């Protein structure tokens, strides 16, 4: 590798010195600096990226998706194994060293799913999705019935209570109304939080069972035309999904913290803390109609009325239902595909991932992302065949068992944690890669600017502007339909840049980020998507509504590939720790203010605010040192040491003991909220202890957080020393 004479600091461009965008480049843009690259290598990198971005093809992505959605392929089935084998063959043809890694996980499949209304009249429910004549894939008999993975078997008959979305505030409202779910079957609508949280809360409130349905207000006819006339959920569509308590720990329930290999020491199923104890099942809107219109009791509170054509009541009343579930729990094989493109330095890895298992066909979720990954891999392989050799090894992964609870990725990370922490530079994730034209992303704060910069380089298929410019325009006008306020996932910061979401859970970045401390990011193009986890998420839906031309599949491959190349080829890794430290300091200040408002003991938080300030100072010292070092290139060995240190700052933010009550989650800054599911909690250990007014846990978590901030600051000071020419 050649090294130029001038270093552009890894954080020196946070103010947005990368002007312009586009897939083709040219003129001043070709000469613009790139974060993390010596000036003498910028032209070489831009030429490489332009060659890469010319390779992804919409037509080829369409062909891949048609193949990937040729049959239902739920995890734990031979069909999922067939998909894994096909993916392995594709990567081998691109020039990757590809292999299948299997794990044995404790997973259920439904033997019997019954639901019937027994009062005030008898009616058989649990109806399945209706075929659509114009969509031959919906005629399949291979789709699994609607069920919730990790529900126990049960046979229950009880009265019904409507609990709105089944969230903490909904149960508070019911308590205020004097309505209890104890001994009753709760019925909740999908939305607002992860379905497993709905089950957990129903269990905590001593419900006998839980039914979850899709209300047309949320993703059905109230939103727009339903499939096949539009992208929204038909009345018969069912949202399958897992109710594993992944906020406690994801992955195989019987092997928390260790890989689910054949010889692993396993818990007894009764001791698995992340498995529900009450039966849960999903139903469609037409079945929910029969139950909800039979409820008596008070009229629902404001905001609880859905779109079914009658007045909703809370219950209980005359309505009683009989729920019978028989689940077949077994050790089942899952199949991860791990493909490597060897770099000049195999001690550093850029890791990319997407899951391949689906509840049925999974055209959007996940196989749009799978098709995108294949386009990215094909382009990287073509560059390699043309003489390019990656600077770092690129590892591309396709996980199995994600839908059941992030099983494939979690087991692989648990099996390889030490090596990942020693070698992984970052993890790039896509899941629902494309279901519309709206780019969105989440990332650890140190990588947010890298995502923005890559999005500036790729042209949006809708016109001549970049993906970033289109994204920013949408974010500047985005409003939440109910509150009228800017949406957290689509807003512009005070700096004028698009805000990226924090990483919580819900996809395969979780074990990398929350457990192993690998800097991570997640992205895709979203849109009107009402067929999530249903039979109708198939190729025909994607062709008609999600991405008819498949140009957004190709565009996402260009964005992901550009990020991968910049991480792979950078002279000094492009992390922005000054931005990260600023977010940490703001969060620490917010916690201190909350503690003061609650009238609690705020002294426990003083070390946190102090160490957050020290972290900010250290981040700026490192930033300044990198900027001062631009006059002379670092020696290769010093570069390597610095890169290892830069990549390990995220790991310094881990707590060896993990969060209180859920030690699998090690990250002190971000984790899924205990009652939020997918959404990220910021400084979750401290924040949740503060909410509970638990002074002992608050002191413990604050001390662990302060120690993590101290470690990260020390690591940044080491980097500042290394950066001296």
User: Which residues, including other chains, have CB under 8 Å from residue 548's CB and lie 6 or more apart?
Assistant: none
Largest CA-CA distance found in the chain, in angstroms, rounded:
82
What is the CATH topology of the domain spanning 107-331?
Answer: Glucose Oxidase; domain 1 (3.50.30)
Domain extent listing, the chain: 58-104+332-569, 107-331, 577-722
Residue-level pLDDT at 8: 32
The helix or strand, by DSSP H or E, that contains position 425, with its residue range, turns out to be: strand 424-429
Go through the chain and tell me how many residues it has. 725
Task: Tell which residue, 465, 506, 508, has the closest CA to residue 489.
Answer: 506
Are the C-beta atoms of 216 and 192 separated by less than 8 Å?
no
Domain covering 58-104+332-569, topology? Aminopeptidase (3.40.630)
Q: How far is residue 502's CA from residue 672's CA, in Å, rounded to a whole number?
A: 10
Q: Which residue has the higher pLDDT, 523 or 484?
A: 523
pLDDT tens profile 526-564? 999 999 999 999 999 999 999 999 999 999 999 999 999
Could you tell me the two tokens for 470? 């289109």
Q: What are phi and psi of 78, to 5 degrees?
A: -65, -30
**How far apart (Å, rounded) are the C-alpha atoms in residues 505 and 522?**
11
Parallel, antiparallel or unpaired: strands 241-242 and 148-149: parallel
Best CA proximity match to 642, nearest among 579, 718, 714: 718
Tell which wins on pLDDT, 6 or 325.
Answer: 325
Residue partners of 691: CB distance under 8 A and separation at least 6: none
pLDDT score of 25 more than 60: no
With a cut of 60, say whether residue 486 has pLDDT above it. Answer: no
Whether the predicted pLDDT of 28 surpasses 70: no
**Residue 317 vs residue 424, higher pLDDT:** 424
What pLDDT is recorded for position 29?
59
Residue carrying structure tokens 């929350």: 514
- Report, in angstroms and rounded to the nearest whole number, the Rg of the chain calculated over CA atoms: 25
Query: What's residue 507's pLDDT?
Result: 97
Beta bridge partners of 439: 525
Each residue of 417-453: pLDDT tens digit?
999 999 999 999 999 999 999 999 999 999 999 999 9
Of 420, 612, 645, 651, give the one whose Cα is nearest residue 514: 651
Task: Identify the three-state secondary structure at position 675.
Answer: coil
**196 touches 244 (CB < 8 A):** yes
Is the Cα torsion angle 228, 166, 276, 669 positive or negative in sign? positive
Rounded Cα distance between 138 and 236, Å, is 12
Cα–chain center distance at 724: 38
In this structure, the number of other CB atoms found within 10 A of the CB of residue 505 comes to 27
Helix or strand run (H / E) with residue 324: strand 315-341
State the pLDDT confidence band at 478, using cuts at 50, 70 and 90. Answer: low
| Residue ranges of E strands in 196-308 | 209-213, 241-242, 280-283
Q: In whole numbers, what is the pLDDT of the chain averaged over residues? A: 92
Residues 6 or more apart whose Cβ sits within 8 Å of residue 70: none
Q: Using pLDDT thresholds of 50, 70 and 90, give the confidence band for residue 604.
A: confident
Three-class SS of residue 173?
Answer: helix
CA distance 531 to 537: 5
The catalytically annotated residue of 247, 402, 457, 497 is 402
Reported as a pLDDT band with limits 50, 70 and 90, residue 603 is confident
Whether residue 167 has pLDDT greater than 70? yes
Q: What is the pLDDT of residues 383-423, one digit of tens each?
A: 999 999 999 999 999 999 999 999 999 999 999 999 999 99
pTM of the predicted protein model: 0.94
* 484/478 Cα distance (integer angstroms): 9
pLDDT score of 165: 98
Which residue in the block uniquely carries the two structure tokens 């001296």?
Answer: 724
Query: pLDDT at residue 20 above 60?
Result: no
Pairing of strands 424-429, 520-526: parallel
Give residue for tokens 């009238």: 599
pLDDT per residue over 40-87, tens digit each?
Answer: 899 999 999 999 999 999 999 999 999 999 999 999 999 999 999 999
- What Cα–Cα distance (Å) separates residue 74 from each residue in 61, 84, 146, 686? 22, 12, 12, 38
Which pLDDT score is estimated for 629?
60
- Looking at domain 577-722, does it have CATH number 1.10.540.10? no
- Is the pLDDT at 323 greater than 50? The verdict is yes
Q: What is the dihedral of CA 185, 191, 197, 201, to 10 degrees?
A: -40
Partnered with residue 487 across adjacent β-strands are 490
| 497 tagged catalytic | no
Bridge partner list, 459: 466
SS3 184: coil
> What was the pLDDT predicted at 433?
98
Report the pLDDT averaged over residues 282-298.
97
% of the chain residues with pLDDT over 90? 86
Residue 542 CA to residue 550 CA, distance in Å, equals 9
What are the tens digits of pLDDT across the range 190-213? Answer: 999 999 999 999 999 999 999 999
Tokens representing 82 are: 């067939």
Using a pLDDT cut of 70, give the percent of the chain over it.
93
pLDDT of residue 116: 98
- The token pair at 500 is 């990226």
């Amino acid at each position: 590798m050649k090294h130029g004479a001038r270093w552009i600091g890894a954080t020196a461009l946070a103010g947005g010195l990368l002007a312009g965008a586009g897939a083709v480049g040219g003129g001043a843009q070709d000469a613009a600096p790139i974060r993390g690259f010596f000036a003498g290598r910028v032209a070489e990198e831009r030429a490489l990226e332009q060659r890469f971005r010319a390779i992804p093809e919409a037509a080829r992505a369409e062909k891949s998706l048609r193949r990937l959605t040729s049959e239902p392929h739920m995890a734990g089935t031979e069909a999922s194994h067939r998909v894994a084998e096909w993916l392995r063959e594709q990567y081998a043809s691109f020039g990757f060293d590809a292999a299948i890694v299997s794990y044995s996980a404790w997973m259920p499949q439904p033997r019997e799913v019954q639901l019937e209304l027994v009062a005030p009249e008898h009616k058989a429910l649990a109806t399945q999705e209706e075929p659509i004549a114009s969509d031959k894939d919906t005629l399949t008999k291979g789709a699994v019935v609607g069920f919730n993975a990790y529900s126990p078997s049960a046979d229950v008959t009880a009265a019904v209570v409507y609990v709105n979305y089944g969230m903490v505030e909904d149960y508070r409202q019911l308590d205020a109304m004097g309505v209890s779910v104890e001994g009753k079957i709760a019925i909740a609508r999908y939305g607002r939080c992860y379905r497993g949280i709905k089950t957990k809360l129903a269990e905590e409130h001593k419900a006998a069972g839980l039914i979850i349905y899709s209300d047309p207000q949320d993703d059905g006819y109230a939103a727009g035309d339903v499939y096949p006339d539009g992208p929204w959920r038909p009345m018969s569509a069912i949202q399958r999904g897992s109710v594993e308590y992944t906020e406690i720990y994801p992955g195989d329930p019987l092997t928390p913290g260790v890989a689910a290999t054949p010889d692993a020491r396993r818990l007894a199923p009764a001791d698995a803390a992340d498995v529900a104890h009450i039966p849960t099942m999903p139903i469609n809107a037409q079945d929910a109609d029969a139950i909800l219109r039979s409820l008596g009791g008070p009229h629902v509170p404001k905001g609880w009325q859905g779109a079914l054509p009658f007045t909703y009541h809370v219950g209980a009343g005359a309505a009683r239902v009989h729920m019978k579930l028989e689940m077949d729990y077994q050790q089942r094989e899952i199949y991860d595909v791990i493909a490597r493109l060897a770099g000049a330095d195999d001690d550093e890895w850029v890791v990319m991932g997407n899951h391949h298992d689906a509840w049925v066909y999974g055209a959007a979720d996940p196989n749009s992302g799978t098709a995108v990954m294949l386009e990215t891999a094909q382009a990287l392989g073509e560059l390699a065949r043309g003489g390019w050799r990656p600077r770092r090894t690129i590892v591309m992964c396709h996980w199995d068992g994600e839908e059941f609870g992030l099983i494939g990725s979690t087991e692989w990370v648990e099996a390889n944690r030490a090596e990942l922490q020693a070698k992984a530079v970052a993890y790039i994730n896509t899941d629902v890669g494309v279901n519309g034209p709206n780019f969105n992303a989440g990332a650890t704060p140190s990588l947010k600017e890298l995502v923005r910069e890559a999005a500036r380089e790729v042209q949006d298929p809708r016109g001549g502007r970049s993906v970033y410019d289109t994204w920013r325009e949408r974010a500047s006008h985005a409003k939440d339909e109910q509150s009228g306020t800017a949406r957290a996932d689509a807003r512009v910061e005070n700096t004028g840049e698009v805000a990226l979401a924090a990483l919580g859970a819900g996809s395969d970045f979780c074990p990398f980020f929350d457990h192993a401390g690998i800097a991570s990011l997640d992205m895709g193009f979203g849109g009107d998507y009402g067929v999530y986890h249903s039979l109708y998420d198939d190729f025909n839906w994607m062709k008609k509504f999600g991405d008819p031309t498949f140009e957004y599949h190709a565009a996402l491959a260009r964005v992901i590939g550009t990020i991968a190349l910049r991480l792979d080829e950078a002279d000094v890794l492009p992390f922005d720790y000054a931005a990260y430290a600023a977010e940490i300091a703001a969060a620490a200040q917010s916690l201190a203010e909350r503690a003061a408002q609650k009238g609690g003991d705020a002294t426990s938080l003083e070390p946190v605010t102090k160490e957050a300030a020290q972290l900010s100072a250290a981040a700026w010292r490192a930033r300044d040192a990198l900027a001062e070092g631009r006059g002379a290139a670092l020696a290769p060995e010093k570069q390597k040491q610095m890169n290892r240190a830069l990549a390990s700052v995220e790991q310094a933010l881990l707590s060896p003991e993990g969060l209180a009550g859920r030690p699998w989650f090690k990250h002190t800054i971000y984790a899924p909220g205990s009652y939020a599911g997918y959404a990220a909690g910021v400084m979750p250990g401290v924040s949740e202890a503060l909410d509970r007014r638990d002074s002992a846990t608050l002191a413990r978590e604050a001390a662990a957080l302060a120690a993590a901030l101290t470690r990260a600051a020390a690591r940044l000071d080491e980097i500042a020393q290394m950066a001296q020419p």
